[in-house]
Amino acid sequence: DSGVTQTPKHLITATGQRVTLRCSPRSGDLSVYWYQQSLDQGLQFLIHYYNGEERAKGNILERFSAQQFPDLHSELNLSSLELGDSALYFCASGSGTSPSTDTQYFGPGTRLTVL
């Protein structure tokens, strides 16, 4: 157990819908990173928050957004869902500010299926 929790574990929804994925970091960690894992693209970085502030964006679509709340949990919002958004979504937490030195602790992931 990494100490990072993600809910829900599985999510099945239809195209055009909106979903929210939730991540609670390890106690004391201020950074939250979001990743998307698909069969063809592998594990892709989406966005990084540190102590409530957005630090970096990766290959995140405009239909996707995220935030980190004062209690440090984070939510990833996916809207206008398409079939191609079906993937595993991971969050990771770390104690540092930079992914170049931060050891990231991964959650179990949320499997999103868009029908």
Partner 1 sequence: AQSVSQHNHHVILSEAASLELGCNYSYGGTVNLFWYVQYPGQHLQLLLKYFSGDPLVKGIKGFEAEFIKSKFSFNLRKPSVQWSDTAEYFCAAVRRSGYALNFGKGTSLLVTP
Residue ranges that bind partner 1, judged by CB under 8 A: 1-2, 4, 33, 35, 42-45, 48, 55-56, 58, 90, 92, 98-101, 103-109
Give the Cβ contact number of residue 77 at 10 Å: 13
Residues in the chain: 115
CB 114 within 8 A of CB 10: no
CA angle 53, 55, 59 (to 5 degrees): 125
Amino acid at the residue 42: G
How far, in Å, are 6, 25, 47, 105, 111 from residue 91 at the CA level?
7, 8, 10, 8, 12
Q: How far is the CB of 79 from partner 1 (least distance, A)?
A: 23
Q: How far is the CB of 15 from partner 1 (least distance, A)?
A: 26
Alpha carbons 95 and 42: distance in angstroms, whole number:
25
Q: How far is the CB of 103 from partner 1 (least distance, A)?
A: 6
Q: How far is the CB of 56 from partner 1 (least distance, A)?
A: 4
